[in-house]
Amino acid sequence: MSSVQDLLFSKDHEWVRVDGDSATIGITDYAQNALGDIVYVELPKVGATIAQFANIGVIESVKAVSDLFTPISGEVVEVNGALESDPAAVNREPYGAGWLLKIRPSTPDETKSLLSPAEYEKIATE
């Protein structure tokens, strides 16, 4: 499992790892655990423009459909195609093989409104 120390978090339980002009987005360990066995992930198309905190897809567990939000704005450059046949990777490795999508961030300042690992930890353990 990758370190969470270089991640930023949204209150909606998504994480983002910004690396220059690329940002990887996923859901947190707390979120995958709360959802239970994940069976389907619906993501935006490559090339789509997404706005911070907007609903960009759904993530479905055996029991429920949950909305997926993006922690920052940008253009979708890649989605994790492996999740089509193995959505359970999100349960197993939410910060690794279970990543959801990569975007080219359009508004770098937005990361200021996100939470640090320590700040998110407080929310997730409340």
Residues that bind other proteins (CB under 8 A): 36-37, 39-40, 42, 58, 60, 62-63, 65, 84
CB 5, min distance to other proteins, A? 28
Tabulate helix, strand, coil % of the chain (nearest 5): 25, 35, 40
Phi-psi region of 29 (alpha: psi -120 to 50; beta: other; left: phi over 0): alpha
Q: Which is nearer to other proteins, 30 or 104 (CB)?
A: 30
Residue nearer to other proteins on the CB measure, 21 or 84: 84
Distance from chain centroid for Cα 42: 12
Nearer to other proteins, 23 or 38 (CB): 38
| Least distance to other proteins, CB of residue 76, Å | 18
| Residue 57 CB, nearest approach to other proteins (Å) | 10
Amino acid 38 reads I
**Contact by Cβ (8 Å): 116, 74:** no
